Amino acid sequence: MDDVKKNKKLLTEAIQLKDQTMERLMRWNGENVRLKKLFEATKKQLEMATLEACKVRKELDGALIKVFELKRSIPTKKEAAVQEYLGSQAFHHAIRPHSTREVHIEKIKRMAVLERYDDGSIIRKYF
């Protein structure tokens, strides 16, 4: 009988150990399921954030292109000053001959340049 009691006691301990192990595995499994759900939710949030970041990046790239084009279209201070001077009365007064004598001298200079570089063929053609 002692052997039967001993076997019964060992069997009871083995069943309790099995039940404890099953409980522990069930808790771990529950924790794993919870972590898996949390992981899936985090993964979806990351995908959404990535899509949003791509969308914002495209918008930013478009805005940067517009800014670059606008920046190129705005003249620099030097270019603006040159354009203002070229359109001013002072510039036109400076390049315009002031007398008929100066006009005649300018004509002679241009004719001399034409004769020198073109052997007078243009002059003969038009005069």
| Per-residue pLDDT reduced to its tens digit, 46-69 | 999 999 999 999 999 999 999 998
Residue-range domain boundaries for the chain: 1-74, 75-127
E strand or H helix at 75: none
The residue-averaged pLDDT of 68-96 equals: 72
pLDDT at 119 (0 to 100): 60
Q: Which two tokens stand for residue 50?
A: 């990535």
Spatial distance between the Cα atoms of 107 and 124, rounded to a whole number of angstroms: 15
Residue 111 has what DSSP assignment? H
Instruction: Let me know the angle formed at the C-alpha of 79 by 76 and 81, rounded to the nearest 5 degrees.
Output: 105
pLDDT reading at 85 higher than 80: no
Please count the other Cβ atoms lying within 10 Å of the Cβ belonging to residue 53. 10
